[in-house]
Amino acid sequence: MRSTSFAKGALILAVGGVIAKILGAVYRIPLTNILGAEGIGKYQLVFPLFALLLALSCNALPVAVSRMVASDRARGLDHGIKNTMGASLLFATLTGLLSMALMIGVAPYLAKVQGVEGLEICYRILAPTILVVALSGVLKGWFLGLSDTLPCAIAQPIEQIVKLAVGILLAKLLMSRGVIWGVAGALMGVGVSELVGLVTLAIWYAVTRRESKGISFVDPAFGLYRLTKTATPITLSSLIFPIVTFVDSILIVKVLTYSGVDGAMAVTQYGLLTGPVSTLVNMPVVVALSLAVAIVPAVSSHLATYDVEAIKQKTALSIKLSYLIGVPCMAGMWILASPVLNLLYPTMSVLEKGLSVRLLRMQTPTIVLLSQLEVFNATLQGLDKAPKVVLNVAIGGLVKIALEIALIYRFGIVGASVSVVVFYALSGALDIVLYQKLVGKNTQLVKSIGKILLSSAIMTVAIAYLPKLISSPLVATVVVTAVGIIVYFVAVALLKVLSSEEMKCLPLPSKITKRKCEKI
DSSP 358-375: HHHHHHTHHHHHHHHHHH
Residue 478 counted as domain residue: no
The DSSP code sequence of 244-291 is HHHHHHHHHHHHHHHTT--HHHHHHHHHHIIIIIHHHHHTTHHHHHHH
The DSSP code sequence of 389-411 is HHHHHHHHHHHHHHHHHHHHHHH
Which pLDDT does position 461 carry in this prediction? 93
Burial class (CB in 10 A: 0-12, 13-18, 19+), 281: buried
Which pLDDT does position 399 carry in this prediction? 94
Task: Report the C-alpha gap between 404 and 401 in whole angstroms.
Answer: 5
Asked if 153 and 81 count as a contact pair (C-beta separation under 8 A), the reply is: no
Task: Report the C-alpha gap between 124 and 221 in whole angstroms.
Answer: 32
Residue 64 counted as domain residue: yes
Phi and psi, residue 82, nearest 5°: -60, -45
Residue 256 counted as domain residue: no
Asked if 357 and 341 count as a contact pair (C-beta separation under 8 A), the reply is: yes
Checking phi first, is residue 178 left (phi over 0); if not, alpha (psi -120 to 50) or beta?
A: left
Asked if 182 and 174 count as a contact pair (C-beta separation under 8 A), the reply is: yes
Asked if 28 and 275 count as a contact pair (C-beta separation under 8 A), the reply is: no
Which pLDDT does position 1 carry in this prediction? 41
Q: Report which of 519, 61, 517 is spatially closest to residue 302, judged by C-alpha positions.
A: 519
**Please, how many CA atoms are within 13 Å of residue 44, restricted to the half-sphere of its CB?**
11
Which pLDDT does position 298 carry in this prediction? 52
Cα Rg, the chain, nearest whole Å: 23
Task: Report the C-alpha gap between 308 and 262 in whole angstroms.
Answer: 56
Asked if 194 and 202 count as a contact pair (C-beta separation under 8 A), the reply is: no
Task: Report the C-alpha gap between 146 and 71 in whole angstroms.
Answer: 10
DSSP assigned state of 176? G
Q: How many domains does the chain have?
A: 1
Residue 130 counted as domain residue: yes
Residue 78: what residue type?
Answer: D
Residue 6 counted as domain residue: yes
Task: Report the C-alpha gap between 103 and 95 in whole angstroms.
Answer: 12
Between helices 6-45 and 150-162, what is the axis angle to 10°?
30
Q: Report which of 367, 357, 361, 362 is spatially closest to residue 286, judged by C-alpha positions.
A: 367
Neighbours of 342 (CB within 10 A): 18
Residue 508 counted as domain residue: no
Task: Report the C-alpha gap between 502 and 37 in whole angstroms.
Answer: 48
Residue 496: what residue type?
Answer: K
Residue 321 counted as domain residue: no
The H-or-E segment that residue 158 falls in is helix 150-162
Q: Which parts of the chain register pLDDT below 50?
A: 1-4, 211, 292, 295-296, 300, 507-513, 515-520
Q: Report which of 314, 335, 367 is spatially closest to residue 476, judged by C-alpha positions.
A: 335
- 387 CB-near residues (< 8 Å, 6+ apart): 233, 236
Task: Report the C-alpha gap between 200 and 282 in whole angstroms.
Answer: 27
Which pLDDT does position 215 carry in this prediction? 57
- Print the domain residue range for 197: 1-218
Residue 22 counted as domain residue: yes
* Residue 397 CA to its chain's centroid (Å): 18
The DSSP code sequence of 10-46 is HHHHHHHHHHHHHHHHHHHHHHHHHHHHHHHHHHHHT
Task: Report the C-alpha gap between 98 and 89 in whole angstroms.
Answer: 14
Which pLDDT does position 325 carry in this prediction? 84
